[in-house]
Structure 1
Amino acid sequence: MATAAEGIEPKAHDHSDKMAAHSASDVEKLSTPPTGELQRKLSSRHLQFVAIGGTVGTGIFIASGGSLAKAGPAGLLLAYIFVGTLVYSVMLSLGEMATYLPVSGAFTQYASRFVDPSLGFSMGWIYWFSWATTYALELTAAGLIIQWWNADLSIGIFITIFWVPITAVNFLPVDIFGEFEFWFALIKVVALVGFWIFAICVNAGVGKQGYLGFKYWDSPGAFAPSDLAQGSVAKFVSFWTVLIQAGFAFQGTELCAIGAGESANPRVTMPKAIRRTFWSIFPLFVFTIFFIGILVPYDLETLTAGGTNAGASPLVIAIQLAGVSALPDILNAILLTVVLSAASSNVYSGSRVLVGLAEEGCGPAFLKRTSKRGVPYYATAVTAAMGLLAYMNLSSNGGQAFNWLLNIVSVAGFIAWTCIFICHLGFMRALKAQNIGRDTLPYKSWGGRGLAIYGLTFCAIITLTQGFTAFVPWNTEDFFIAYVSLILFSVLYIGHKLITRSKFVKPAEADIFTGKFEDEISETWEESSASTWKKLMNKF
């Protein structure tokens, strides 16, 4: 008996040790994201402010001045509100897909899965080129902002100075990068809210102009008539001409979905991030445009001077008209942080699009390689290298080529939004064909098919008609500048279709499962070690 007991006791002890070792291994495996791939460390707060960081930039702080001169205060306000409805539709369509399938590159992969691999290829590459080029534009803008204080300094100096740290930040682990973007984007929000307070005070009569009210809506007027038409049609034409510029300002709102592959518990964080992102950016833009319109007359020559530093900002112009001398320098410093934050988001978004393209086989496989802490270093390096295009501004003929790149950025946003709606319609067809009810999705777009069709229709119309001024009278150069991005998109699509002979995806065969995030794993990653240990022990 003693011998038998002695024989049993060590076995029981060995089993306990093995169970403990096995459990500890499982805890570590389940509670830590895998190495060598993107890691889910971004909260809804991070995703929201990464999108704000990429969206709130020179479009609202500087380019809105030129738009005011073209459309007038009422025309510009209506343009921003209208484009805002399209953005809202985009966010709802994205939310439904990104919450169900939170994959790298988000909608660039959805196009290949739900519609057509050629659409995914062309959409993904032009979208990446758009953000990579925007990085160069923001670096240039940063140098021009510095020239506000000393015009004799070369822009090239500051392109180099800013390129190095902004690129370096993107090689940090994604949670640290998320915190960096949070605080920088917060500066933008505070600056715009501060401008609202300033505008209310000036409008009430604090500035040297006295009480304003809607003085400038009466004279020179609420709408700036176009030279291409007469009467009410001229006002509509002016409104239509600034839609593409309003779209450029809103471009980047969709970035919260780009980070879906790195979001912690996407079933919870993605819907929050998408709702909060839109309802953060939309009021920021609409109220800012409204206050600019009541403080600055649209016929002011400074608005059309073509500058890209603080002197061309309608916010600075409003401050100068009010007779405040100290604020322009302060706002210029804030504008510098605005540009640098946007530049950082550009590199992040572009690199994640490259990862998504690589995972879908639309780009070199090495682009999806990551460090042990989940940083796609090859994709980040390739995207950051595009920022060096900013040096083109130093050459005598570089400005014209750079304007072409700028137009690619502006129109590519509408092309991407159009493709997102197409993806959403394809996603809904696939769900129906595979007998999956939309009511079972973790997040459902309340507008459904109708809202997606509304967004698709107007985004496509704006994309096709935004260069109409090149036709009256005909101007070949203006035509190519307006439609170069659409031409590039078509070449990429047709080229990929001819080379690969890809076919449209049948709804019943669409891949709507690869990358689907499981709730159990999501919960495990967010639980504490003690809670996870208890859960695993209960399985034994």
Structure 2
Amino acid sequence: MPTTIRHRLSRPAYRLVPLPRRSPTNGVNRPHENQDPGTSEAEAWHARWKNVMDTLPAQITRQQIEKISIGGAIGTGLFLGLNTALQHGGPLGLVLGYALMGTVVYCTVISFGEMVSFQPHIGGPVGLAHLYVDEALAFALGWNAWYNWTIVLPAEISAAVLLVGYWSGGNYAWGVTAAFMVTVLLANCLGTAWYGRFEVGFTRLKVATILLLIVMGLIIDVGGSPRGPLWFRYWQDPGLFNGQMFAPGALGNFLGFFSVLLQAAFSFFGSEVPAIAAGEVVNAGKNIPIALKWIWIRITLFYVIGVFIVSLLVPYDNPDLNNTSGTASQSPFVIALNLASWRGLPHVFNALFLASAWSAASSDVYISSRFMFNLARLGHAPRFMGWLFQPLGRGKIAIPWVGIAVAGLFSGLALMQDGGGQTAETFHWLSSMTSAAALQAWIGILFTYIRWYQGTRRAIQDGQRRREDFHRHWLQPYAAYYAFGMCCLVLVSNSWAVFVATDWRLALGPGETWPPAFDSTAEYQAVSGPVVPIFITSYLPIPAFLILLFGYKLVYQTKMVKVENMPSHLSYHISEEEVAEEPEPDYASMPMWKRYGLYALNIVS
């Protein structure tokens, strides 16, 4: 064998990149320690974080991050979770609940987007909390977010198994679960660029699904079914609100609406994914604001209009809404198609919902592994959890394989089911555990933004920065205050129904389902059932977060960063080469019809 070929074969095809050792006294909020006397504080900060870009190179393009910003807001919660929300709130309560929570999501996303577009390469919300609030908050926020994205992964896999059960009758649950686990993990092992490509394809599929459902719903509402025109028939009978839910009269109307608000929050989780992925986005300082610019239209189009169409098609007292199979048959969209005698379509939409669940699971692995990498980068997790796998000869590819492997281990929680009803129960308990954690992550992000806003405002007043350096929204900081207050309200009210339950039991009785089937003949629907597990899974993340926060402060004696000590020099500057790499279309020189046509195409595609 020639010497050259033998030499090439003897070289490894990959390398494992460990993290550099970090001195316990060299915290991120103390960059002046252990640095050369001739190095300025700003240079020390840049040296501290520059290698993050080198170890996780930017591979997500502008088109991909725009599609991810759409796809992150469309998931199984929209397709499968509206049946209970419609039952609890009635048609008007459903629309108002999702519209109000949509405003909270919008304010949260624009706040997060402002920070990461200015500083995308310092570890996402963990690094931002480290710099502008407290190391203890960064520690607690990072592990809370990792817990959320890691535990929601088996929940999404359980949802996928339920969808496959529409055809298999609940058989082969273990095999289907294993197949989803393997394919989702392998997809993330291909690298960030392939993750972006997958998300572009699945986002287009999800957008096509929701647009198709909206168009079909409009056709049915105006008379395209044997039932004739519906218009606002179900807003009149049985009524605007479900006054029989939880309490009689006006109190029942309000409690039903408030229940929708809590369910809507779970449906919107994931809207912040583009900002979390900012560290791997090409031209993040430019492309993240572009991706988030039209998010309010996407929320309105896909969620508010979607739930409005549902409110026109199915009455809240329809017995089919009691379906808890977890398949397409429980979706109000599919129930409306069946009522319109449009047969065969549930199979098509079940397949589309299945693709949505797979996409959501893939995003869960991606975000979970990045949070673990950032925690290790900041010294809040063992160093080996930040190790990277870099195939040689494959360009700039870096895979945080330890984070992916750990997410894969936790995805095995989905194997707890044994087919049939236990699968649905597994999904319910797992999803309940993530609601409070996700809300805590939003609260931590918003509090970090409020501190970041104070620091950047002082930098502007002192002449260190210009206002043009920040993608400041005209609603700030009031949008952040509003979202922070609403998220706190929803967090403490999460699963409020357990406090008015008529009995406290640990498990379901024979023939019982949870949530209990709605009885339209009763004066009102009392809360009963196994509420003890609901109480535990809904509120356990709150004391866990506080233990992490104050435990870290107690051990390391950390203090909140003062406004005057906040670093204003850590920003992302776009080079001329980066701008030339992805030129933005010149919308100003286009005819009006073409300009707005491209806007619309970009929003929905």
What range is the shorter-chain TM-score in? Answer: 0.7 to 0.9
For the aligned residues, what is the CA RMSD? 2.4
Residues 407 and 485, structure 1, Cα contact 8 Å, conserved in 2 = no
1:26 corresponding residue in structure 2: none
Q: Do the aligned partners of 1:54 and 1:346 also contact (CA within 8 Å) in 2?
A: no
State the alpha-carbon separation in 2 of the partners of residues 519 and 453 from structure 1. 30
1:408-452 CA distances to partner (integer Å, 9 max, x unpaired)? 212222222211110111102222444345613241122122221
In structure 1, what is the Cα distance between the partners aligned to 2:424 and 2:87?
A: 23
Name which of structure 1's ranges 106-115 and 395-404 shifts more when overlaid on structure 2: 395-404
SS of the residue 2:60 aligns to: coil
- Other-structure match for 1:502: 558
Spell out the pairing of 1:181-196 with structure 2 (5 A cutoff).
181-196=199-214
Relative distance call for 1:254 and 1:310 in structure 2 (3 A) is same
2:293 to 266, 269, 275: 275
Identity of paired residues, percent?
30
Matches within 5 A, 1:161-172: 161-172=179-190
2:412 to 388, 393, 413: 388
Q: SS where residue 221 of structure 1 aligns?
A: coil
Equivalent residues in 2 for 1:188-337, closer than 5 Å: 188-337=206-355
Equivalent residue, structure 1, for 2:6: none
Paired AA for residue 423 in structure 1: T
**Residues 48, 276 of structure 1: 8 Å contact kept:** no
Residue equivalent to 1:421: 446
How far, CA to CA, are the matches of 1:487 and 1:260 in structure 2?
Answer: 30
**Alpha-carbon distance between aligned partners in 2 of 1:160 and 1:354, rounded to the nearest angstrom:** 23
What residue is the counterpart of 1:460 in the other structure? 488
Superposed CA deviations along residues 298-338 of structure 1, whole A, max 9, x for unmatched, are 11122123221111111211111111111111111111111
More helix by share: 1
Matched, 1:486 2:542: yes
Q: Describe the SS at the equivalent of 1:448.
A: coil
What runs of 5+ residues in structure 2 fail to find an aligned partner?
A: 1-50, 391-396, 505-530, 584-605
Partner of 1:44: 62
**Using a 3 Å threshold, how does the CA distance of structure 1 residues 246 and 410 change in structure 2: closer, same or farther?**
same
Give CA-to-partner distance per residue, 1:41-96, whole Å, 9 cap, x none.
21232123234334311100101111111111110110111011111111221121
How far apart are residue 168 of structure 1 and its match? Answer: 0.7
Residues 76 and 226 from structure 1, CA distance in 2 versus in 1: closer, same or farther, beyond 3 angstroms? same
Residue identity opposite 2:549 in structure 1 = Y
> Equivalent of 1:412, from 409, 417, 437?
437
1:154 positional shift: 2.4
Secondary structure at the counterpart of residue 147 of structure 2: helix
Match of 1:520 among 575, 590, 605: 575
**Which whole-Å deviations, capped at 9, do the CAs of 1:469-525 have from their partners, x for residues lacking one?**
2222485714323312223222222322222222212222234444x3222276378
- CA–CA distance in structure 2, aligned partners of residues 178 and 305 of structure 1: 35
1:334-362 Cα shifts (integer Å, max 9, x gaps): 11111111111111111112222222222
Q: 1:205 to 1:432 in 2, by over 3 A?
A: closer
Q: So what's the TM-score if we normalise by structure 2?
A: 0.77
Alignment match, 1:101? 119
Name the structure 2 match of 1:134.
152
Matches within 5 A, 1:372-383: 372=390, 373-383=397-407
- Residues of 2 paired with 1:60 and 1:140: CA distance? 16
Q: 1:54 to 1:523 in 2, by over 3 A?
A: closer
SS at match of 1:209: coil
Q: 1:80 to 1:201 in 2, by over 3 A?
A: same
CA separation of 1:307/1:241 partners in 2, compared to 1, >3 Å: closer, same or farther? same
TM-aligned CA deviation for residue 400 of structure 1 = 6.3
Q: Aligned to 2:237, what secondary structure does the other structure show?
A: helix
Deviation at residue 397 of structure 1 after TM alignment? 8.1
Structure 1's 306 and 105: CA in aligned 2 closer, same or farther, altered over 3 A? farther
Alpha-carbon spacing, 1:279–1:371, altered in 2? closer, same or farther (3 Å)? farther
* Partner SS, residue 473 of structure 2: coil
Tell me the CA shift for residue 467 of structure 1.
2.6
Q: CA deviation at 1:125?
A: 1.2
Q: Give 1:103 deviation, angstroms.
A: 2.3
Name the SS for the 1:371 alignment partner.
strand
Residue equivalent to 1:20: none
Shift of 1:234: 1.9
Do the aligned partners of residues 276 and 323 (structure 1) sit closer, same or farther apart at CA in structure 2, a change above 3 Å counting?
same
Distance 2:487 2:559 in 1: 25
Structure 1 counterpart SS, 2:81:
helix
Q: Which ranges in structure 1 are unaligned for 5 or more consecutive residues?
A: 1-32, 529-540
Moved more, 247-256 or 105-114: 105-114
Whether the 8 Å contact between 2:72 and 2:272 is mirrored in structure 1 is no
Corresponding residue pairs, total: 495
Superposed CA offset, 1:129-178 (max 9, x none): 11112211111111111111121522111011111111111111212220
Instruction: Summarize the Cα distance change of 1:398–1:144 in structure 2 as closer, same or farther, 3 Å threshold.
Output: closer
Q: Distance in 2 between matches of 1:150 and 1:402?
A: 18
| C-alpha distance after superposition, 1:177-202 (max 9, x if no partner) | 20111001110100110111101111
In 2 relative to 1, CA 158–51 (structure 1 residues): closer, same or farther, beyond 3 Å? farther
Q: 2:498 aligns with which of 446, 454, 470?
A: 470
